[in-house]
Chains A and B, each alone.
Chain A
Amino acid sequence: MKEGKLFKILASLLAFILVATFSYLSFSYSKTYRIATTTSIYDSGFLDFVTPAFEKKNNVKFNFISVGSGQAVKIFKNGDVDGIIIHEKSFLNELKKEKLINGYTAFVLNYFILVGPKDKKDLLKEVKSVQEAFALIRKNNFKFVSRADNSATYIREIEIWRLSKLKPDFEGYIKSGLGMGMSLNLANEKGAFILTDEATFYKMKDKLDSLDVVYQNPKEQVLTNIYYFAYSPKKAQLSKFASYLKSKEFKNLVNSFNQKFFKKEVYRVVK
């Protein structure tokens, strides 16, 4: 083939690629809602598991933006998303006061647990509360990874320090500034303790070979981790999704999610 001919073929191919990508970009979807969500419930795969049934039935599409609870609230306040899923009630009450939401729906919960290095598990056997566990870690200057971001998990950790009347000012206290998954990896590498939610931990457990649950207690209020859904009053159609989160169909999906990924009850439907 002559060089000029080859050039022409390839140039038209290049032009074709350009036209194809630009027309792909101008293609728009049906009704799309943007929901900012806290990382934990999204990264576990939970939302992608329970929403398609709703999307299909109502011919809508959810775009989830997975960020920390603090950031989720910020972008919701800016009006850049239509709804939020977070696990920090104080943020929601704030939004309600500012009339940015009418109310919120508690739909699923799991528990915060304390995980730590396997070889130190026995040391916490006698511990009676999570505050006591924190105090023990601090006293022995064990390594402890704190997310130190504006996340709900971090806010809960600070609450536990406050309840224990202690300050996290010891040498072993590591501020990661990372999301839950990355912080768990960090704790695993450093042999450190960390406060986490059950779902994220059990989902990643096979990769966290040096960590194990060292303290858990579903009866402690401070360790209850409830997820809420709220939406902008301007997007009243999202009330349908709020009621779906209370439906039998949703409950069944939660059960199958637990069975499929954890083989035990991790996410519990809130009544």
Chain B
Amino acid sequence: MTVSGVILTVLLCAAAGLTLYRILRGPAVLDRVIATDVLLAVVVAAIAAEAAFSRDATALPVLVVLSILGFVGSVGVARLGSSTAEPDTAASAAAGQSDTDPAALNVPTHGGRS
């Protein structure tokens, strides 16, 4: 059991290291976003493996939080962190692509200063 724990740790640490290299040297923001998603998956895997090897279920709610949080972060960066402006939707609407309307997601909120 100890040997398998060492093997698992080495594999996960190598994966996290390669992913961190891509986060450092990603040419675009989106490269860093997908690498961060992979890093989050590796962290979730490491916490689950630790819970399995120690037979201790204390850290399992952390996994739920992490699996939601990574999704929110990557979607936010994909929506707002892309360094270019959103294209106008006239051409895509003219092509009959009303279901792929990017303006449906950023409806301006009138008022709502809470």
Whether both chains belong to one complex is answered with: no
Spell out A's residues near B (CB within 8 Å).
Answer: none
